Structures are given as C-alpha cells and as structure tokens.
Amino acid sequence: MVQVSRHDIVIVGGGGAGLRAAIAAAEANPKASIALVSKVYPMRSHTVSAEGGAAAVARDDDNFELHGFDTVKGSDFIGDQNVIEYFVEQAPKELALLENWGCPWSREEDGTVSTRAFGGMTIKRTWFATDKVGFHMLHSLFQQSMRYENIVRYDEFFVTKLLTENGACKGVAALEIRTGDYHAILGRAVILATGGAGKVFPFTTNGAIKTGDGMALAYREGVALKDMEFVQYHPTGLPGTGILITEASRGEGGYLRNKDGDRFLVDYDYGVGKKAELGPRDMISRAIIQEFEAGRGIDDEHGLHASLDLTHLGEAHIMAKLPFVRELARTYVGVDPVHQHIPIRPVVHYMMGGVDTNIRAETDMPGLYAAGEVACGSLNGANRLGSNSLTECLVFGNSAGVHSLEYASGTNEGNEASLRAQAEEEAARVDSLRGSKQGDEKIADLRVEMNRVMEAGCGVYREQETMKIAEKGMHEIRKRASSLHLQDSSKVFNTELVAALELMNMVEVAETLAVSAAHRKESRGAHTCRDFPHRDDQEYLYHTMAYRTEDGPRLDRKDVALGHWEPQERKY
C-alpha cells in the first residue's frame, strides 16, 4: 500500500540548492508545508565535496558587469545573458545570507570576508572558507534549515517518479529505502535539486550518489534536457580515484608542470595568455591532454599525469588556505604538497547541461522547478567558471523556492485518488524489479560498460566517429538496462534495488549526452571536436534540447538569450 502525505512544495534533493529552496519557501510563508526528500541524509549530499569557493562581487574594484562578462566569456557565449545578469546581481546577497547563517567564511584582519582568485575570473571575487567551502555551506544550510518547523524531511527516500495531472506536476512517488515502502508525497509544486550525473563517467570527482536522478525524472515526463553535450573536465583530479584537488590551489599561486618541470601554460600557447594557471577549466584540461600527446606527461605508478606544484607556497600558506588539499594528497596519493608535486589529470567534474529551466527556475512543465547542477538555466553555457556553481545553488535554489510557492498558492492540489493510483503503479513496477531474476544483465558490469563507452566517446577531445559509436553504444546499453538481474529480494535497505534504479537513470542521461554531443559539429567551451576545431556561431549558436522517445532522444534547438555582450573570439 502506498502511503500518502501532502505538502505545498515537494523538494527532491537536500544539497545546496534543495536546502536553499526549502529555506526560501519556509521563510516566504511560515504556514506553507515544505517536504525535503533526499535519497541520503542532507549532510551527505555532494555539495559537501566542493572545495574552492563561491563567487560574488565583494570588492570596490569589482562590479556586476565584470562578473557578468567573465561568466559569458567563460560560457563561450552560449550562456543566456539575462540569466547571467540576474545571477551576478543576486550572488552577493546570497553569500551574505550564508554568512548571517553561520558559514565560517575566511576573514581579513578588518573583519570582512576574504576573496581569492579563481580561473577565468578577472577579479578576486571567490568567497571561501579555507578549502572546504561546499562542506561549510552545506552544513550551515542544513543546520539553519532545522529552525523551520514547516520543513518536513524525508531522509533516505528515493524518488522514482513525478506524479502529474493534466500535464502539471503534483508530487512524487518515492521508495522509503529503510523499509521498502512506497510513498506518494503530494505537493502543488515540485522542485528538482538532485545534482549532476558525473557517475555516467568512470573517472570523476563526483560521489557515488551523483547519478542524474532528477534529470531522468524530468526527461521521462517529456521535459527537455538542455545542452547535455557540455561536460566539464576539471584539470586537477587525483589519478586513480578522481578526487578533486581544488582550483583554489592555483588561485593561491600553484603551478602546473609537465615531466620536464616546465610550466607548460606559460611556455606553450594554449590560449590562456597571461592568465596561465588561472585560465578557464576547459582550456587547461585540453592543454594537459596535449602535453600528454606531445610526450610531456609523467608516467609512473600513478599512470599518465601532469603535476601541481605548491611547494613554493610554503607550509604556513598551505595550512592557512589549502589544508584539505594537503590532507587529500597525503591520504590518497601519499604525497605531501609542502615538499612534493601532486600528480593530477583532467577529471569529469560538472554537467553544464541539465533540465531546461529559466530565470524563475521553472521548467516547461507547470509546477515543476529545478535548481543547481540538475538544472540548465543556461548560466554556464559551454563551460562553467569555477566557483560559480555553489553560488548558482543558492541563487536558483532561492528562485525556485520563492517562485514555486507563488505558483502553488494559485493552483489546486490535484486529485488524490488519481495521483495515488500513479504511485501504486510505480510501486508495483519497482516491486517487480526487486530481486528480479527476469533479465541477465549485471548492474556492476553494465555500469562499467556505460562508463567505458562514455569515456571513449565523450572525453576532453571528441571526434564524430567516436561520438557516433558512443551514441549507438548508449542506445544499446539503455535497452539492456531494462533486463537487469537482481539477487536481493529484501525490502529493508535494499541498495541493489536502488543501484538498479540509479543505473536506469544514468543510461537515459548518458544517451542524451552522447546524442547531443554527436550533433554539435563545432568546438565550443568544453565540447571540443577534433574534426570541427572552431566555434561556428553561424550554425550552432543555440541550445541543444533533447526530448525523450522510445527510440532515443529527439533533438531540437532553443535560442540563446543574447544581450549587450557580443559574441567574440574567446582568448585570454
């Protein structure tokens, strides 16, 4: 039997964006009931792993125009300029609120908040709490959220379906992981805040929970996934694990070196100019791969890699600004950055694409909102600037919370019997999957195959031929994912069942990624085609929209919102 509960707003995901949305809605109307549904306890959300900082204008020599232009240029001119303008204007207020809520931002002697340099940013505007910014933001938000009695948490509930009525979203169906029971959590509006989908790739900074759940939920209901071809490779991940070494390492003065010990970003022309190590992520990741191809990579027990040199910063500076980097390097590659270079290589980090949204965090489906990495409001375009994404969670989490509440007050709560019936049907589907011996595909093996296909086809450098192979490969893997072989028939905390559902989400998302990538025959931002090495504004200055069909994604296009920043050659 499905258990039914009713709220005004249902938020899926308890990371930075979900918590911010919950607090915004709870404050806007203390009488509104806000459900916060997450497959993990909120403090486990992947926001916790963000390290370097959050961007917002904070100094007298900075302004919105500069932050805006840096972001547009970083996006390779495919970010929506109205969204970017809104974002940079809202950003300082949001980070100040976090301060008021206890976030331990690092400080100057005069008591003001410190800022640091970051890639692609012309001014120091990245607020930081040493190098555990995501952790501190997440915990500050989570702890703050506990004051609001009208935020009702559903911890370790896995949402598997959106419930709809006449094309509008009216709630979610969720598996209570601990008991195996099914719930219809009804609301007049639903906000997706489930994060990205890095786990479709084998080598990623992302935690195990980043499986594209919210993207798949929306996509199955006919909402477009936008700009999925743009995948950010972070230049500095630890070999083997993919653990993130923050860009703040370079913001604080670190160098990237090749096997000859040369600062290749200075010695060779990779388009980053004087910015060198503070160039944008897409360009630096490409530079590292080119160093490998030129035979200047380092090949040892860590595999092929380049190195990050912090030794000249000194122990005191590293301990004051980058203590977590030191802890990670020591623990996971056995290197002390005070004395040794850290082995690094480009690693999948962030999805610029996601559920198509606008400035109000609305999707095309009435009552459905999205914020944070799951969404593509087109802030980031073809390449996100480091430290814009934590702020994005706050700005658009707030937008989603406020606007969904406005919408909810003017719409009906839906027909409970019909919504319950949809949840019953979903419960039956998932029940039949639990312990199902129908198919013969193993979850772990199929996941590895998906990872292999995606890495081969949609890496830092792409080619038509390999992308087409990935497209075909993902199409087949998606089909195969409907015949999984499961062995665990227990109802209690069945993580095999959850893994199966997550895999089914990932294959949908990965297929849109491969298809969208093969379609874009140009190089823009993070999408770099060897056979089409130039940006082509004549043909491709638009957003890619992927709609679900049984046979695979159907692609469409959407105009980019241009503005007063004219597209120009992207050189630093």
Least separation, in Å, of the C-beta of 462 and another protein?
A: 28
Instruction: Give φ, ψ of 243 to 5 degrees.
Output: -60, 135
Binding another protein (rule: CB under 8 A), the pick from 494, 505, 516, 528 is 494
Q: Which residue has the tokens 């993580």?
A: 495
**By the rule CB under 8 A, 276 interacts with another protein:** no
The residue among 191, 337, 352 whose CA lies nearest residue 252 is 337
**Residue 20 and residue 103: Cα distance in Å, rounded?**
13
- CA Rg value for the chain: 22
Binding of residue 295 to another protein (CB under 8 A): no
Q: Pick one of 30, 111, 295, 410: the residue that binds another protein (CB under 8 A).
A: 111
Please report how close the Cβ of residue 144 comes to another protein at its closest, in angstroms: 5
Tokens for 199, please give them.
């786990």
Q: How far is the CB of 97 from another protein (least distance, A)?
A: 8
Q: Which of 61, 63, 178, 425: binder of another protein (CB under 8 A)?
A: 178
Q: Are 218 and 355 in contact (CB under 8 A)?
A: yes
Query: Rounded CA gap, 321 and 330, in Å?
Result: 16
Report residue 459 as tokens.
């890496």
- The verdict on 201 binding another protein (CB under 8 A) reads no
- The window from 217-225, 329-337, 371-379, 506-514 that contacts another protein (CB under 8 A) reads 329-337
Of 24 and 225, which has the nearer Cβ to another protein? 24
**Side-chain-side CA neighbours of residue 460 (13 Å):** 22
Give the binding range for another protein (CB under 8 A) out of 92-100, 251-259, 419-427, 456-464: 92-100
Of the candidate spans 110-118, 452-460, 501-509, 527-535, the one that interacts with another protein by CB under 8 A turns out to be: 110-118
Q: Which of 61, 65, 102, 483 binds another protein (CB under 8 A)?
A: 102
Q: Say how far apart CA 545 and CA 227 lie, in whole Å.
A: 7
Q: In 529-563, which positions are buried (b, 16+ CB within 10 angstroms) versus exposed (e)?
A: beebeebebeebbebbbbebeeebbebeeeebbee
Contact at 8 Å (CB) between 408 and 8? yes
Task: Give yes or no for a contact between 454 and 517, defined as CB atoms under 8 angstroms apart.
Answer: no
Q: Is 139 a catalytic residue?
A: no
The residue among 60 and 550 lying less far from another protein, judged by its C-beta, is 60
CA distance 197 to 494: 22
Pairwise CA distance, residues 286 & 526, whole Å: 9
Q: Name the token pair of 254.
A: 């670190």
CA separation for the pair 474, 479 (Å, rounded) = 8
Residue 495 touching another protein (CB under 8 A) = yes
CA atoms within 13 A on the CB side of 409: 10
Binding residues for another protein, rule CB under 8 A, total 66
Between 322 and 368, whose beta carbon lies closer to another protein? 322
Q: Rounded to the nearest 5 degrees, what angle is found at the Cα of 82, between the Cα atoms of 562 and 353? A: 85
Catalytic residue among 46, 67, 125, 250: 250
Interface with another protein, residue 327, by CB under 8 A: yes
Compare residues 411 and 490 and give the one whose CB is closer to another protein.
490
Contact 150, 344 (CB under 8 A): no
CB of 403 to another protein, least distance (A): 22
Q: Please identify, using beta-carbon distances, which residue of 282 and 373 lies nearer to another protein.
A: 373
Residue 125 makes contact with another protein by CB under 8 A: no
| Side-chain half-sphere exposure of 375, counting CA atoms within 13 A | 33
Q: Which of 132, 321, 349, 420 binds another protein (CB under 8 A)?
A: 132
Instruction: Indicate which single residue of 64, 268, 461, 493 sits in contact with another protein (rule: CB under 8 A).
Output: 493
By the rule CB under 8 A, 244 interacts with another protein: yes
Binding of residue 126 to another protein (CB under 8 A): no
The answer to whether 408 and 25 are in contact (CB under 8 A) is no
- Residue of 90, 122, 241, 340 interacting with another protein (CB under 8 A): 241
Q: Is 250 a catalytic residue?
A: yes
Query: Which residues on adjacent β-strands are paired with residue 366?
Result: none
- Classify residue 244 by its DSSP letter: B
Alpha-carbon distances of 527 from 40, 114, 231, 282, 523, rounded to whole Å: 32, 34, 7, 9, 6
CB of 448 to another protein, least distance (A): 9
Q: Is 197 in the site for another protein (CB under 8 A)?
A: no
440 binds another protein (CB under 8 A): no
Check 188, 234, 305, 349 and give the catalytic one.
234
158 sits near another protein (criterion: CB under 8 A): no
**Candidate segments 42-50, 116-124, 186-194, 452-460, binder of another protein by CB under 8 A:** 42-50
Q: Is 104 a binder of another protein (CB under 8 A)?
A: yes
Closest distance of CB 23 from another protein, Å: 11
Q: Which is nearer to another protein, 482 or 490 (CB)?
A: 490
Non-local (6+) Cβ contacts of 145 within 8 A are 19, 22, 23, 26, 36, 42, 151
Residues identified as active-site: 234, 250
Judged by the rule CB under 8 A, the positions of this chain that interact with another protein are 40-41, 43-46, 48-49, 58, 92-93, 96-97, 99-102, 104-113, 132, 135-136, 139, 143-144, 146-147, 155, 178, 207-209, 240-241, 243-244, 301, 324, 327-328, 331-334, 442-444, 486-488, 490-496, 499
